[in-house]
Amino acid sequence: MHAGDITHSACPGSGRVNDEFARELAHMALVLHEQPDIELTAERFLEYVLARIGTQHASVLLLLRGGRLESAAATDARVEEADRVQLETGEGPSFSAIQDEKSVVSGDFPADPRWPRWSAGTTGVGLHSVLSVRLRTPATTVGALNLYAPDRDRFTKADDTIAQLFADHAAVAVANARSESTLWQAIEARKLIGQAQGILMERFDLTAEQAFAVLRRYSQDNNVKLRDVAARLIATRKLS
């Protein structure tokens, strides 16, 4: 079974079911926007998708600069292992869904020739079917939603369509959560660095610029993030 484009106007079932599904998507979007961080946003997103699709194994991978991916949420150890191999090999359905800009499905991915290294590395995970759907906003690609199943040929065209509808409604919330998380991390890092500068300034009678230069030099010489250097100094009152 191979990838196909999504029909975005499709919705499952009758008109009554369509209305219920639309309300479900709208409610999910509201709930996701209320989550405090990217991990909880991704986890709640998976809860909604899994309940509708009927599988128990799923993950969200986020797109980084340079085309790399990182994990935001995974339901279990088997999924974590399958995703780990994707991230290590740089190939797999998530990468294909993002690069080809359409969903990707495989009915037996450990034997799928499209991703030889990923397939070889996942023969023992106990999963066979995968459906990967791109998470995208009008402005950018956010990442990928992955649905897994232990049985072969599990996912249908209807699953494909439903997953994309969920992904389209969740992508903005996921993108916003990541932006807010990055912003708060930057704010917290600046606070830590400022505190560390203050410690050095008081102890060694340095200016703010000199204290920052000390932190930066230690960070570069030891290949440690500047934020982590500052946190260590605050916690231990020592740089090493």
Give the model's pLDDT for residue 14. 45
* 137 within 8 A of 175, measured Cβ to Cβ: yes
Per-residue pLDDT, averaged over 33-56, amounts to: 90
Measured CA to CA, the distance from residue 109 to residue 132 in angstroms comes to 12
| Average pLDDT over all residues of the chain | 88
pLDDT in tens, 137-163: 988 999 999 999 999 999 999 999 999
pLDDT in tens, 68-126: 999 999 999 999 999 999 999 999 999 999 999 999 999 999 999 999 999 999 999 99
The CATH label, of 1.10.10.10, 3.30.360.10, 3.10.150.10, 3.30.1130.10, for the domain at 183-236 is: 1.10.10.10
pLDDT exceeds cutoff 90 at 227: no
Annotated domain spans of the chain:
15-182, 183-236
* Alpha carbon separation from 118 to 5, 91, 103, 133 (Å, rounded): 23, 6, 18, 17
Fold of 15-182: Beta-Lactamase (3.30.450)
User: H/E/C letters for each residue in 27-87?
Assistant: HHHHHHHCCCCHHHHHHHHHHHHHHHHCCCEEEEEEECHHHCEEEEEECCHHHHHHHHHHH
Q: What is the pTM of this model?
A: 0.70
pLDDT in tens, 56-65: 999 999 998 8
